[in-house]
């Protein structure tokens, strides 16, 4: 008997506060074995064990099934909002047409206007430089050929989209970009719906200021494949010169027309270049009056909730 008591004290001293709460229960139960109340002690022991196991299991079930779901919905960073007016440059890869374009962008989320100046590539002789002014309040697209000083006025076919993270976006990751120690932190968002929809859009935005870094949009719809990667750089807040949204004089005489109009020379046979191929039934093309200019403007009819192409 003294031996049992000694063991009980010993195990209690070692285990009670250090390792596990169950040890305390074991230790005190061992002590009770030494007394005359052995049957009652056993009943108490079993009862306490059941209570403990029940409590632990209950905690597990609540935490495992309810708490994390609520946590995921109710806490964590919300999509930030990019400043409504900004300017900058962008490089857009269209992986379907395997073409890369660089743009100078002025984005007016207040007046619902966009101005996109397509940078000419100096190594492509004959390539024209285009300025696109998009007025979403009047549903008008001005396509200005800066080399020929001509203007084509057509209707926009895409709805207005704020350039920011959609409020229903899913947070994918948060990390530092750039050199170790002197980088900056970004968050990566997507349109993925957990267990319901794979992502077709990924947007990487800075945590400080909510500035776009990279956007990727893809849709493998066989009728209408889309795949864009756009990088943003040299961004500045505000619009330095609001006049960039004013259509030039050459556009004033034009009226908005649904079909592109042009006055070809008598012998002029317009060369249509489709980008992507004409077989794409959701695709629409506007052409210009210069046969060397290539595609002037093109966009998809299909509307998405997420930003992808710049025009």
Ligand X SMILES: *[C@@H]1O[C@H](CO)[C@@H](O)[C@H](O)[C@H]1NC(C)=O
By CB under 6 A, the residues from 156 to 175 that bind ligand X are 160, 162, 164
Q: Which of 11, 12, 16, 81 binds ligand X (CB under 6 A)?
A: 81
The yes or no reply on residue 224 touching ligand X (CB under 6 A) is no
Provide, rounded to whole angstroms, the least separation between the CB of residue 114 and ligand X: 13
* Chosen residue from 181, 194, 258, 266 binding ligand X by CB under 6 A: 258
**Nearer Cβ to ligand X, position 41 or 310?**
310
User: Out of 65, 74, 75, 243, which residue is the one contacting ligand X (CB under 6 A)?
Assistant: 243
- Interaction of residue 256 with ligand X, rule CB under 6 A: yes
* 241 touches ligand X by CB under 6 A: yes
Please state the three-class secondary structure of the chain as a single string: CHHHHHHHHHHHHHHCCCCCHHHHHHHHHHHHHCCCCHHHHHHHHHHHHHHHHHHHHHHHHHHHHHHHHHHHHHCCCCCCCCCCEEEEEEEEEECCCCEEEEEEEEEECCCCEEEEEECCCCCCCCCCCEEEEEECCCCEEEEEECCCCEEEEEECCCCCCCCCCCCCCEEEEEEEECCCCCCEEEEEEECCECCCECCCEEEEEECCCCCEEEEEEEECCCCCCEEEEEEEEEEEECCCCHHHHCCCHHHHCCCCCCCCCCCCCCCCCCCCCCCCCCCCCCEEEECCCCCCCCCCEEEECCCCCCCCCCC
Nearer to ligand X, 84 or 295 (CB): 84
Pattern of binders to ligand X over 277-306, x per CB under 6 A?
A: -------x----------------x-----
User: Measured from the CB atom, is 30 or 212 closer to ligand X?
Assistant: 212
Is the CB of 96 or the CB of 244 nearer to ligand X? 244
Pick between residue 109 and residue 276 the one whose CB is nearest to ligand X.
109
Site stretch for ligand X (CB under 6 A), options 54-62, 142-150, 184-192, 236-244: 236-244
Using CB under 6 A, list all residues that contact ligand X: 81, 84, 109, 139, 155, 160, 162, 164, 241, 243-244, 256, 258-259, 284, 301
């Amino acid at each position: 008997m003294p031996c049992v008591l000694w063991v009980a004290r010993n195990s209690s001293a070692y285990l009670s506060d250090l390792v596990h709460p169950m040890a305390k229960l074991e230790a005190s139960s061992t002590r009770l074995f030494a007394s005359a109340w052995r049957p009652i002690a056993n009943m108490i022991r079993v009862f306490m064990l059941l209570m403990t196991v029940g409590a632990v299991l209950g905690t597990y079930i609540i935490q495992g099934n309810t708490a994390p779901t609520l946590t995921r919905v109710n806490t964590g960073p919300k999509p930030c909002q990019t400043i409504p007016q900004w300017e900058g440059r962008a490089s857009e890869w269209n992986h379907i047409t395997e073409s890369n374009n660089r743009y100078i962008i002025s984005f007016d989320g207040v007046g619902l206007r966009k101005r996109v100046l397509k940078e000419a590539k100096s190594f492509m002789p004959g390539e024209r430089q285009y300025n696109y002014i998009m007025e979403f309040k009047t549903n008008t697209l001005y396509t200005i050929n800066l080399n020929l000083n001509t203007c084509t006025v057509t209707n926009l076919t895409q709805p207005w989209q704020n350039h920011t993270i959609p409020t229903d976006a899913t947070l994918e990751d948060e990390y530092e970009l750039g050199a170790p120690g002197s980088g900056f932190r970004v968050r990566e968002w997507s349109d993925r719906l957990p267990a319901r929809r794979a992502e077709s859009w990924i947007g990487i935005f800075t945590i400080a200021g909510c500035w776009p870094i990279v956007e990727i949009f893809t849709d493998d719809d066989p009728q209408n494949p889309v795949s864009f990667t756009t990088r943003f750089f040299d961004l500045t807040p505000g619009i330095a010169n609001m006049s960039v949204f004013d259509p030039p004089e050459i556009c004033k005489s034009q009226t908005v027309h649904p079909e592109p109009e042009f006055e070809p020379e008598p012998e002029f046979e317009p060369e249509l270049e489709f980008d992507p191929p004409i077989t794409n039934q959701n695709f629409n093309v506007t052409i210009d009056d210069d046969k060397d200019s290539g595609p002037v403007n093109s966009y998809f009819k299909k509307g998405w909730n997420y930003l992808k192409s710049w025009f």
